[in-house]
Structure 1
Amino acid sequence: MDPDAVAKAFVDYYYTTFDTNRAGLASVYQESSVLSFEGQKYQGTQSISGKLTGLPFQQCKHQINTVDCQPSGAAGGMLVFVSGNLSLPGEQHALKFSQMFHLIPTQGGSFYVQNDIFRLNYA
C-alpha cells in the first residue's frame, strides 16, 4: 500500500463529498474521532457531522494546493496535511485553509479519521 496514493484517494473523496454531500462524511469518522474546527472541539460521529452540516453555507468548492503524507505509528496509520482554497458563493476571494487528518486503518482495509484539525489561514 502506497501511503501517498491512499492520502490522495482520501483527500479526493473527502473534499468531493464535502462539496456535494456533506452529510456523507459521517462515514469517515467514528465515536472516538475528534475534530478541532477553528479551535472548537467536537467528538464522535454525530457531533462532528452536526458541525459540518451546520456550517452557515450550503455550497462551496475546495481547491487543493498541497497534500503531504507521513506514516504514523506501528498500526499503519498516517498523517495527511492539506492546504488549499475554499470558495464560497457570492464571495469574490477564496479563503485559504489548512487541514490535518490522522487516518487509522480498519479491519476491512479502509481508513477512518481519528483526528481532524481545520484552520482558515488569515494573512
Structure 2
Amino acid sequence: MKILIVDDEITARTILRNHLEQSIPGCELFEAANGTEAIFRYLKYKPDVVLLDLIMPVVDGETFLAIIEDAFQKGFLKKAPKVIVITSFDDPGKLLEVSGRPSVETVIPKPITHATIERLKTLL
C-alpha cells in the first residue's frame, strides 16, 4: 500500500509515519509539506490513500483536493483519489462540506492521538 502524508507540521508527519510503519508492514510512505509538493508526489507515486491536512501554506488541502478530483474527472488519473482528512480546522460547516467531497473517505480531528491511529488502521 502506498500512502502520501500531507501536512505542514513535521511532527504530525513523523507521528503518522512512525505509527504506519509499525502498523502496516511493507507500506510505502511519502510525505509532502504543502499542497504543491503533494500534487507532484501524488502524480509521481500514485498513492492508494492520502492523509491530508487542510490548513497549509502555499497550496492548502482544499485546493489539492480540487486539483486531483478534477484530474480524475478529466481522465488524467486512472483511479479515483482516496483521501482521509486529518485536520485541526474547526469550522463545522466547512468540515461538512469537505467530508462531502467525492474523494474524501472521512474527516478526523487533530490532535493525532492513539485513538486517531487506531481509527486510521481500520480505514486503511
TM exceeds 0.5? no
Q: Which has the larger radius of gyration?
A: 1
More helix by share: 2
TM-score normalised by length of structure 1: 0.25
